[in-house]
Each structure stands twice: as structure tokens, then as C-alpha cells.
Amino acid sequence: MIDVEDLIALVRNYNPKTNADLIREAYAYGREMHEGQFRRSGEPYFTHPVAVAAILTEQSLDDATIITALLHDTIEDTRASYQEVARKFGEEIAELVDGVTKLTNLQLSSTETKQAENFRKLFMAMSKDLRVILVKLADRLHNMRTIKSMRPEKQLQKARETMDIYAPLAGRMGMQWMREELEDLSFRVINPEARNSIIRRFITLQRETGDVIHKITNDIRAELEREDIDADVFGRAKKPYSIWRKMEEKQQSFSRLSDIYGFRVITRSEMDCYRVLGVIHQRWRAVPTRFKDYISQPKSNGYRSIHTTVSGRDGKRVEVQIRTRQMHEVAESGVAAHWSYRDGVRAQNPFAVDPAKWLASLTERFENAEDHSEFLEHVKLEMYSDKVFTFTPKGEVVSLPKGATPLDYAYSIHTRIGDSCVGAKVDGIRVPLWTRLKNGQSVEILTAEGQRPQGTWLDIVVTGRAKAAIRKSLREEDRERFVKLGRELARVAFEHVGKKASEKALATAAKQMSLGSAEELLARLGSAELAASDVVRTVYPELVRESSAIDSKRAVLGLSEGESYNRAQCCQPVPGERIVGITYRGKGVVIHAIDCPSLEELETETNRWIDLQWHSGPHAPEYTVSLDITISNDTGVLGRICTLIGEQKANISDLRFEDRKPDFYRLIVDVDLRDVEHLHAVMLALEAESDVARVRRYRNLDRRP
């Protein structure tokens, strides 16, 4: 573990005016709070916060961020409180520690709807203070570096979460070195055979060709010296995951892959960047279409550099990045450069992006997302996108993600132009709407009155904005179908409590729920935006719960007096099933079905297990169970399924489509049930239906506590 004086020395290297006493106090406080806690590797737990702080010193970050790293797990995992941290270290640090704690509690690898909601929360945390994310990224980086001490299945879960969320987030923030390391550490867990294969081929290549990096670096230096250009030249082999991704994208073997080496030239001025570019293109042949000028067209996170690929020594392609020292600092630190220090003062880098403005530009594109899946799609598209710069006929620049089409371009201008698009011209030539746009092209959109978006457009566009606009238009066309389905869902739900879904009842419910009309209510029911049980409860609250049934608050025996419980969403136990209670910090007792797979992780923690059983007697139909049903895609089938469930006196609280194919639908139906016998009766009735191909209980381990 790094000693406190060594940590302070790391900070003093870039900030001689650091508050060393406050860092010492935070170090001592963190070590005291984590006393007696150990990591899975057997090391004292406090080695982890110290390592996270050391990672952040590499970014030359301010004292508040370093101290937050030392304390980032105290509020969550120790007896420390927000008030105590604020009293000892100030409100700023307490807010940062609390922000990291809230991020840690987000289960980002859960189901899609919850994942989308967590992304919203993540961006909210970022908007308050971006340093929260910097600490969280460093936290994840150290955890990935030490991941071998975890169980194999936990390693795989964390690696996939890192690859899907944290690595692209680091890239989006401009911290490319961190993105590459997170990707490679995840790649080592997810596909170790492929990674080892890449490394073995590298070793063989070096044995056959010698030190290519050293040779090409010397070649570039010699050319720059000849032109009297003062610059630093660095070369490196690309990371295994980066090479593997190129192999997959280009469908090429390692032996045919060319640009596996990368070189950077760091100049003294912006003018020298273009002089270096001229020298390199004179000496080596440039590869067409592999040139990008991010100096004249910077990325939104402040990244500036010139990228070019040339055929170098022995015909091997090499990528060269050219930028100034200040541009390089932003390229390495990204948005974090805003908080970096040099010689005791905040570094004044003209290329560093204001985090507030960067975040505003990032979140602006997500505001039009109307549901969870659209928002999540926006996020992922924005995370992974490389930019293509196109021009309007008037010469204005339009920035789009790599792979964008004229339809994406049209929707980026205005939704009305996208909806009415009938064709496009690129550089004056008529092209199909699925054409992939390239840097520097001029695009003109052709429109026609009366044109409406088509379902096939969803497969053509890549931007979240275009997909959201197309879906909204298609949704409006599907409104009649949703209203019809909603009417059937309402009929079944109302009959379940002995009432009719009359127009007056529906209008009353719509008014109470602040909806414009009964038709709007039915449309939302049919599109699964509303639960039928909520509609019935709005009109007949006294009929929703059976008065003679056992209240769910006292349905479980074996709890201490006044102790409450929650049902585990991974297994959704119902009365009549064998259950066990597990204590969770901050969540109380969570009951699981005795055969729940998630219990395997807790076999050794018997002190957390509580022997419980369900109260005997009639229970209210309020225990939600998710059913995974595959049905034939024929007229009226879905309505019959809803009727079947209603005939069993079960209420459908939610319904969502998982897969739509020409011949079948797969959907998840949430049904409110009394007990396990009620569940079996519903499933038996569904299995007997000829249009039901399969019905099973839906288990989702991503929803474990």
C-alpha cells in the first residue's frame, strides 16, 4: 500500500501548494473507518481507496478529488456519515463522496428498463459535479486491475459491464488511455483465448521483422530534423482488444491487418502540426479516406489532433497522430483536464472543455427520448460514435456519428424534413437513403408533401434522434391497434373485480389520471405505458384488495416484531413456495425462493440467512410474477391470452414485447397472483391454448438484490 507521504509526494509533483495536512487527515480517517475490512484478495480494504487516489494523481487532479478517492467508500461501507465527512473535510468533499456512493449503488448491468433509468441517474450525478465520474472510473480501473480475486462469474459480469458502460464513457470523456486499458482488462476476462492469440502473433511478428516501432520512430525523427521541426515522436503497438475489434469489423485475419502500429508527433505549435503532416505525406504515401483533421473540427469533448494513415516501412500501414503539447494533455485527460494542476495552480489549457458545457451538449440529445429503451439507445449510440462531418448546400457543418445515412442527416436538421424525406443527393449525385456518409460530403435532402416514415427506416438510421422520431410517427399510426388492445386489457381487469369497463368508468379513470380522454388511456394501456390494475384501482380502490385475505405486510412468519420484508425480483416468490430470508445492508430482509440461483453466492454467509415461511390462509392477489410467453402472430391471439388470464381471476399489471417475428411474438406478462396454486392454474390454462407455443416463469438474475 502506498504510504501517505508517498501519496502527498505524487500530488506535490504537479501541485506544490497542496493541502498536505488535509490529505494526511483524510488518509488517517479512511484507514480508521476501513479498519478490519479486507478485499477478496486478503489485502486490507484501505489499499483500494489509496490505489484509486494514486491513479487520479496521474491526471494531476485537485486536492478535493484526491481526498474524495481516499474516502469514496466510507459513507457506504463504514460507520462514517455524510454529516461527519462534511464537518471534517467540508461540504464540497462530502458532496463528492456522497455522489460516488450513489453511483456505486446503481446496478448498471440490470434489466434494460432499469439500466436506462440508471443512465439517467448517472447523467444527473455527472451534471452536479463531473469529478464524481472521474473517481468512479478510477475506482473501476483499479477493480479491473485486481479482478482475478473475484469468482469467475462475477469477473464476467463486471467485465461486460465495464466494456458496455465504463470504457465507452471514459472514451466519450476524452480519456482514451483509460478507455483502452478498461477495454483490454475486460477483453482478458471475456475472451482470454482471443487475447492470448493476438499477443502470440505479435511476438511472432516481432521475431520476424525486428523492432518495427523503433525503426519507424527513427525514420520520422530523421525527416523532421531534416526540415528543422522541433517535435517529440512516440510509437507503440495497439492494444490487443483494439486489434481484435479491427479484425472483427474488417473480417480480416491478423496477417492481413495492416495498421497495428500507432505513432504520435507532439509539436510546439499548431502551425508545426500542418508542417509535420506535409513532411509525412511527402515521405510516405497517404492512404485515401484515412485522414481526419480534428484541429479544424474538434470533437465535442475538446479533442484536437490530426490523424493520417500512411504506407510506411516495408509497405506496412501506420497511423500517425499529430498535435501540440496542450492538445496532447487534453487528449490524455479529456474533460478531466479542466481540474488538472501545474506548479500549484489550475492549468490554463485553452483546449480544455468546460465540463458544464460538454455535459449540456451531451444530454441535450437525450431530452426527446419518450421511453426508457429510446433513452438507453441514445446513450449507447452517443458513447460509441465516431464523428463524420458533412456539409449543407450552404456550407454549414453537420456532425453525425460514423455510419450515418442521409436520413440521419435529414432528422438532424429538423424532424419535419426527416419525416417528409423521399431522396437525397450527395455531392450533387442522387443516392439511396441507406448510403453511408463520409467526411467532407455535401448533402441535399429531397422532400415531398404527404410522405410518412416507413418501418424499414429504423434499419437504415443510426442516430438516436432519427430512431426516436421514426418510432413516434409509427406509434401514431399504430394508435388504433393500441386502443383496441387496451380496451381488451381494461375489460379483463375490470371483470376481475366484478365491474364493467364502461365508457364512463374509463373517462373517470382518465380524468383522475390527468389524461386527455378515455381513448388516450386505452392507447397507453395497449402500449404498456399504463398498468390495467392502476386504472381499476383509480376507479374502485376498495375492490382491488380482497378484504378477507391476509395482508401482505403480515404474510411472512419468522420475522422480528416490526421487521418488514421485500420480495426478491430475481425469483419473485409467491405464497405456497418454500422461502428463505436474506439480510441486505440498507434493504432489510429480502425473501427468495429456496431454489433461487442467486442464493449460491451466499452459501458461505449463513449469518445472513433467516428461516421464514408463508402465513397459511388466503392471500390477496398482489404478488406479481413475470411469465415468458411465446404466441403465434395471428389476429385476436393476444386478446384471447388476456381473456384466459382474466378468467383465472388474475390481473395483468404489465405487458411488454421482447421479440417480434413474422410468425410469432414473445412477450413478458406481469400477472398479480394469490399463491403458487394460482400461478399453476394460470400457466395450465395458457399451456392448453393452441396458439401458445411456450409459457414459462420468467427469471431474471440481473434483478437480484
* Rounded-to-10 torsion of CA 78, 82, 83, 84: 40
Q: How far apart are the first and last CA of the chain?
A: 32
CA atoms within 13 A of residue 357's CA, in its CB half-sphere: 7
User: b/e for 357-376, b at 16 or more Cβ within 10 A?
Assistant: ebbeebbebbeebebbbbbb
The 3-state DSSP class for residue 143 equals helix
Q: Between β-strands 345-346 and 341-342, what pairing exists: parallel, antiparallel or unpaired?
A: antiparallel
Catalytic residue, candidates 25, 43, 77, 689: 77
Among the listed residues 122, 131, 110, the one whose alpha carbon sits nearest the alpha carbon of residue 168: 122
Q: Which whole-number Å values give the CA distances from 7 to 23, 93, 413, in the listed order?
A: 9, 18, 51
**Helix extents (H) in 72-111:** 74-77, 82-89, 91-104
Q: Which helix (H) or strand (E) holds 692?
A: strand 692-697
Q: Which residue has the cell 422532400?
A: 447
**Separation CA 280–CA 220 (nearest Å):** 8
User: b/e for 212-249, b at 16 or more Cβ within 10 A?
Assistant: bbeebbebbeebbeeeebebebebeebbbbbbbebbee
**Separation CA 2–CA 637 (nearest Å):** 65
Q: Between β-strands 623-632 and 231-237, what pairing exists: parallel, antiparallel or unpaired?
A: unpaired
Please provide the DSSP assignment of 497-551 as one string: TT----HHHHHHHHHHTT-S-HHHHHHHHHTTSS-HHHHHHHH-HHHHS-TTSBP
List, in sequence order, every residue forming a beta bridge with 171; answer none if it has no partner. Answer: none
Tell me whether residue 367 is one of the annotated catalytic residues: no
Catalytic residue, candidates 76, 180, 184, 702: 76
Tell me whether residue 73 is one of the annotated catalytic residues: no
- DSSP secondary-structure letter at 442? B
Handedness of CA 645, 648, 654, 659 (dihedral sign): negative
Please provide the DSSP assignment of 309-372 as one string: EEE-GGG-EEEEEEEEHHHHHHHHHGGGGGG-EETTEE---TTPPPHHHHHHHHHHTTTT--SH
Instruction: Count CB neighbours of 211 within 10 A.
Output: 11
Q: Which helix (H) or strand (E) holds 8?
A: helix 4-12
Among the listed residues 447, 448, 539, 442, the one whose alpha carbon sits nearest the alpha carbon of residue 496: 539
Tell me the catalytic residues. 76-77
